[in-house]
Amino acid sequence: MKLLAVTACTTGIAHTYMAAEAIEEVAKKKGYEVKVETRGSIGVENELTPEDIQSADAILIASDMAVPMERFMGKKLLYVPISDAIKDAEGLVEQAFKAPVYKGDKKDLVDEVAEIKEKKASERRGVYKHLLNGVSFMIPFVVAGGITIALSFIFGYNAFQNEGTLAYYLKAIGDAAFGLMVPILAGYIAYSIADRPGLAPGMVGGLIAVNLNAGFLGGLAAGFLAGYIVYAIKKYIKLPKTLQGIMPVLIIPVLSSLSVGLIMYYVIGIPVAALNTAMNNFLTGLSGANAVVLGLIIGLMMAVDMGGPINKAAYAFGTGTLAAGTGSAVMAAVMAAGMTPPLGLALATALFKNKFTAAESEAGKAAWILGASFITEGAIPFAAADPLRVIPSIMVGSAVTGALSMLFNCTLSVPHGGIFVLFAVGNIPGYLVSIIAGTIVTTLLIGMLKKPVVEK
Amino acid sequence: MLINENLIDMNLEADTKEEAIKKLAQMAYKEGRVNDIDRYVEAVLKREAEYSTSVGFGVAIPHGKTDAVNEPFLGFAKVKGIDWSAPDEKPVDLVFIIGVPEAQAGNEHLKILAKLSRRLMKDDFRQLLRQASSKKDILAAVQEAVA
C-alpha cells in the first residue's frame, strides 16, 4: 500500500513539518510506503511526481491553505485541517485508504485558475504595477486627443488657427484631452499606490507638471510622489478616534496636495526651467555644427521626453529656423524625428504581440495615425509603462531619422502637420526613407529590449 | 545563530500561555531580535487563536511571522505545566518560541526550524530536553537535532 500526503499550514514554519513527520512515522510503523510533500515558507519540498501519484493507493492532504488539486483526479483522497494530522495522524492514515475518489469538478479548476491569476497580479507589484495602472487610464485620452488633433489637420495644417471654424474646435477638443493626459497618468499612479485618496494629489501634481512643461516624466514623478506621500500620511498620522472622520475629507487631500505641489514647484520646477534655458543655449551653439550631427542630436531630443522640456526646446529651435517662404532642414528633421516614436511602437505592437498588454496593443493601432500626424505623444503610454526600455529605443530610432533627414538635405517650410504637409517638404523620397528607417530601427530595438508581458 | 543561551530560560515563571509568550518575547527583545514586543505578541496570539500551537506531549511552539521581528530566532523555556489547549489536553512544560520577519532573507533559518519541528514529534528528543539540567545541555540537544 502506498500513501501520499501533502502538508501546509498558514505560516509555513512549524506545523507543516510536524504534520509531515507524524504522517511519515505512522505510515512507516504500519508498513506502508509513504511520501509527504511539504508546502511551507521554504517552498515546496519533496514534491509528488506524476509517477508517485500514479502508483499511490490514497492521498492525505492536511492543509489550511489551497493546494494544487487537479493532479489527484481519480485517487482516493482525504482533505483535513493540518491540526487534525498532528492530533491523530494514525486515524487519518487509515481513513485515507477508505476515502472517496476525488473527482474534481469544473468549478475547482476555474477557481484555481482565478487564484493563479490573482497571485500573478499581486506579484506584479511595486513600481511596474502602479505604472501600468496609470498608463491604462491615460491611453483613452491620448487616443482621443491625438486623433481629434489629426482630424483638424485634414482641413490644412494651420486651419485650426481660424477661431470659430470646425478645425479650430477639433484642435481645442484634442488639446483638452491631451491636457488631461498627464494629470490622469499621475492621478492613477497615485491611486494604485494609495487607493482613492491618492487620486486628488496625483492629478494636482500631474497638472502642475504640465504647467511647468515638465512633460510626462514630470507626471510620473508627481504620481509616485503623491502616492507615497498619501501612503505615508495614512500610515504615520494617527488622529484620535473622534477626529478620524476628517482624515479622508480634510487632512489627506489638503496635506498631500500641498506637499506634492510645493515639491513639484520647488524641486522639479526649478531644474526643469534651468534645463529649458540650457537646451536652448546648447542648440543655438550647435547651429554651425555638422548638419548630420545636429540632426542626430535633434532626433535624440525629440524622443527623450515626448513633449517634455527637451522635446519642446528642440521643437522651438526648429520653428525658429523657419523663415517665411523657404524650407528649413532643421524643421524637417524635427518633424521626422517626432513622427518615428509612435510609428515604431505601432509597428512593434503589430510584430511583437507578446510584449504588450491588450490595452497597449489597442493603443498601437491609434499610434499609426498619431505618428503619421507628428503627434509624438502617441508614444507616451508605451514609454510610461516601461521607460527604461522604450525611451532608449525611440531615441535611437529618432536619431537615425533626424540624421538621415539632414543627410538627404530634406527641408520643411511649415511647423506641423505630419503627412498632411508632405506638400511642404523638399526631397519627399529622402524624407520618407528617413522616417521609415528610424521607424524600423525603433521597432527592432523594442523587439530586442522589451520583455514578454507576464500577466494574463 | 537562531538560538543562544540568552534565549533559553530553564525555569520560566508563568501561569498562562499569554504570560509565557510575553515573557519569552521580552527575552527576544533584550537580545535585539524583536523591535516591538506588543506587535510581536499580537502576531503570536493571532496565530495561537487560529488553533493552539501546542502539539501535544507537553510541547508548544508559539510562533509569529511579522515585521516586528528583526532577525529569525528560536527561544526555549521550561515552564510548570501550563494549560495550552493541547490536542491531548496535557499541560505544556516545554515551550519553543519562534520569530521570523515578514520578509525573510534566505531559507537557512526556515530549514532549521522545519528540522526542529520534525524532531519535536519524536519522543527521544523530548526526553532529552526534559532531562537537560543546564542551558548548555539544551543548546547541545537543539544543535544536534537540527544538524
pLDDT tens, residue by residue, A316-362: 888 878 765 577 899 999 999 999 999 999 999 999 988 888 888 88
Which of B50, B98, B108 to mutate to probe the A interface, most A CBs <10 Å? B50
- For cell 508632405, what's the residue? A422
- Cα B55 from chain centroid? 12
Predicted pLDDT at A48: 92
Answer yes or no: do A437 and A448 share one domain: yes
pLDDT tens digits for A129-182?
Answer: 888 888 888 888 888 888 888 888 888 877 888 889 999 999 999 999 989 989
Gap between the Cα atoms of A16 and A64, Å rounded:
10
Q: Are residues A303 and A449 in the same domain?
A: yes
Q: Is residue A39 part of a domain?
A: yes
Query: What residue numbers bound the domain in which A236 lies?
Result: 124-274
Pair A339, A370 in one domain = yes
Same domain, A322 and A391: yes
**Could you say which of B51, B55, B65 has the minimum Cβ distance to residue A18?**
B55
In this structure, the answer to whether residues A245 and A326 fall within a common structural domain is: no
Residue A282 lies in a domain: no
CA distance B9 to B5: 8
pLDDT at site A114: 58
Q: Tell me the CA distances in angstroms from A405 to A89, A330, A331, A449, B10, one per residue in order.
A: 79, 9, 10, 26, 84
CATH number of the domain enclosing A18: 3.40.50.2300
Spatial distance between the Cα atoms of A152 and A354, rounded to a whole number of angstroms? 34
Give chain B's radius of gyration (CA, Å): 14
A152 and A218 in one domain? yes
Considering A95, A122, A149, which residue would you say is the last residue of a domain? A122
Number of domains observed in the structure of chain A:
3
Kindly give the pairing relationship between strand B73-82 and strand B92-100: antiparallel
Distance in Å, alpha carbon of B90 to nearest chain A alpha carbon: 12
Query: Would you call B117 and A14 a contact, using CB atoms and an 8 Å cutoff?
Result: yes
One-letter amino acid of A47: E
Report pLDDT for A122. 55
Active site residues of A: 9
A39 touches chain B (CB under 8 A): no
Residue A281: inside a domain? no
Q: Does A65 touch chain B (CB under 8 A)?
A: no
Q: Which of A246, A274, A302 is the last residue of a domain?
A: A274
Which grid coordinates belong to A348? 512593434
User: For A208, phi and psi rounded to 5 degrees?
Assistant: -65, -40
Question: So what's the ipTM on this one?
Answer: 0.83
Looking at the structure, do residues A148 and A43 belong to the same domain, yes or no? no
Q: Across the interface, do A13 and B63 touch by the CB < 8 Å criterion? A: yes
pLDDT at residue A225, rounded to an integer? 95
Enumerate the domain spans of chain B: 5-105
Instruction: Determine the longest span between alpha carbons in chain A, in angstroms.
Output: 99
pLDDT of residue A111: 58
CATH number among 1.10.8.60, 3.40.140.10, 1.20.1560.10, 3.40.930.10, domain B5-105: 3.40.930.10
Choose the closest CB to B47 out of A11, A21, A42. Answer: A11
Locate cell 489629426: which residue? Answer: A150
Q: Do A40 and B47 touch (CB under 8 A)?
A: no
Residues of A in contact with B98 (CB under 8 A): 13-14
Same-domain status, A208 and A117: no
In a domain, A305, yes or no: yes
Q: What pLDDT was estimated at residue A116? A: 56
Same domain, A320 and A440: yes
Cell numbers describing residue A396: 535611437
Examine the domain organization and report whether A244 and A299 are in the same domain: no
Whether residue B117 contacts residue A17, with contact meaning beta carbons closer than 8 Å, is answered with yes
B61–A14 C-beta distance less than 8 A: yes
> Chain A interface, mutation test: which of B2, B121, B125, most A Cβ atoms within 10 Å?
B121
Longest dimension (CA), chain B: 37
Q: Do A87 and A153 belong to one domain?
A: no
* Region B131-144 average pLDDT: 90
The last residue of one of the domains, among A94, A122, A150, is A122
| Cβ A258 vs Cβ A225: under 8 Å | no
Q: Are A420 and A157 in contact (CB under 8 A)?
A: yes
**Strands B63-65, B92-100: parallel, antiparallel or unpaired by DSSP?**
parallel
- Which candidate, A304, A315, A313, places its Cα nearest to that of A281? A313
Q: Does the distance separating the beta carbons of A86 and B55 come in below 8 Å?
A: yes
- The CA distance from B122 to the nearest CA of chain A, in Å, is 9
pLDDT band at A441 (very low <50, low <70, confident <90, very high): very high
Element (H, E) at A36: strand A33-40
With an 8 Å Cβ cutoff, is B113 touching chain A? yes
Pair (A197, A337) in one structural domain: no
Torsion of CA A103, A107, A111, A112, to 10 degrees: 30
